[in-house]
Amino acid sequence: MKFSQSIFNGCIFFLLLISFSCHEHTGSKLPELNNGKPWEMDRSTRLGFQRMDEQFHHANSDESIEEYHRQADQIISIISEIQTSCTMTGQGHEQLHKYINLLLEEIQIMKGKDIDLAKKAKSNLIEKISRYSLYFK
């Protein structure tokens, strides 16, 4: 189990490194709108968020901590696909990274050992995924 936790921590570090490597660290806060409108995203980003929304649209209070860990790994995989296939540049791209960082914070909590915190983090994650369309299109 310690080995898989090390791999997870390495993946989180890698994703955060990618997120921050070409951008100034702005902290984990909500993205800004594009003059009051959602940012235009590339196709791979839209499809990735659509997959997340389809897979994680409700919370189930009967899930085990291992199930939360598995779901966190699934989200990490989707985020990794989004980041490796992303063709965007500019301010919209930077705002997307802000949003992804918010998701990664919840994912890290889901990968912990406290089931109550994992439940809350999943609920927060679902809410953040559902709000994607407020900031991006």
Tell me the pLDDT tens digit for each residue of 42-100. Answer: 999 999 999 999 988 776 778 999 999 999 999 999 999 999 998 999 999 999 999 99
User: Against a cut of 0.75, is the pTM above it?
Assistant: yes
Look at residues 1, 27, 135, 18 and name the one whose alpha carbon lies nearest to residue 76.
18
In a domain, 83, yes or no: yes
In a domain, 38, yes or no: no
pLDDT value at residue 58: 73
Q: What is the pLDDT of residues 110-131, one digit of tens each?
A: 999 999 999 999 999 999 999 9
Q: What is the pLDDT of residues 29-55, one digit of tens each?
A: 889 999 999 999 999 999 999 999 998
In a domain, 36, yes or no: no
**Position 12 pLDDT exceeds 90:** no
In a domain, 98, yes or no: yes
Question: Do the Cβ atoms of 76 and 12 come closer than 8 Å?
Answer: yes
Hey, which residues does 136 pair with through a beta bridge?
Answer: 39
In a domain, 51, yes or no: yes
pLDDT value at residue 3: 55
**Position 108 pLDDT exceeds 90:** yes
In a domain, 29, yes or no: no
How far apart, in Å, do the first and last CA atoms of the chain sit? Answer: 39
Look at residues 52, 72, 55 and name the one whose alpha carbon lies nearest to residue 64.
72
In a domain, 32, yes or no: no
In a domain, 33, yes or no: no
Cα 36 to Cα 81: distance, rounded to the nearest angstrom: 28
Cα 5 to Cα 48: distance, rounded to the nearest angstrom: 24
Q: Which has more confidence, 24 or 124? A: 124
Q: Please state the domain count of the chain.
A: 1
Q: In sequence order, what are the residues at sequence separation of 6 or more whose Cβ sits closer than 8 angstroms to the Cβ of residue 31?
A: 39, 95, 96, 98, 99, 135, 136
| Residue 102: alpha-carbon gap to chain centroid | 6
Q: What are phi and psi of 39, to 5 degrees?
A: -75, 145
Q: Which domain holds residue 53?
A: 2-24+46-135
**Position 6 pLDDT exceeds 90:** no
**Helix ranges, 65-137 (H):** 65-85, 90-110, 115-130, 132-135
